[in-house]
Amino acid sequence: MATEFSELGAQRAGISADPVDRQKAFDEKNGLGFPLFSDPARKIAELFGVRRFGPLPSKRSTFVIGTDRRILGIVKSELNMQGHADKALEILRSQSD
C-alpha cells in the first residue's frame, strides 16, 4: 500500500486524540510505516470538523489533501479501514488524470 501512495507522490500520516504512548504502541503492533500524531485536546479534529461518534472520541475520517493544501476528498467509515486507503488512492488517481 505504501508503494501505491508513493507512486502518486503522496505521503501518509495519521492523527488521533490518543496520547503519544498509545500511538506508539498501536504503530508497533500494526507496523503502519507512517507518522502518527497525537491530538489529545482535539484542536486539529475541531479544525477539520471531525465530531465525536457515540462513545468513541471521534468519527474515523481520512482527508486527502493536495500539495496546495486544498482538501481533495474525505473518506468516512468506522468499520472498513482498508476502504479508507482504497478510496484515498482513488481520489489521488483521479487528480492525476
Taking the C-alpha atoms of residue 15 and residue 96, their distance in angstroms, rounded to an integer, is 26
Q: Say if residues 18 and 40 touch (Cβ distance below 8 Å).
A: yes
CA distances for 91 relative to 25, 29, 62, angstroms: 30, 28, 11
Decide the pairing of beta strands 71-76 and 61-65. antiparallel
- Residue 49, pLDDT score: 84
Structural domains of the chain, ranges and CATH numbers in brackets: 2-96 (3.40.30.10)
- No. of helices (H) and no. of strands (E), the chain: 4, 4
First to last CA, the chain: 20
pLDDT digit string (tens) for the chain, length 97 residues? 789 999 998 999 988 888 999 988 988 998 888 898 999 898 998 898 887 666 655 567 889 999 899 999 999 876 666 788 899 999 999 987 6
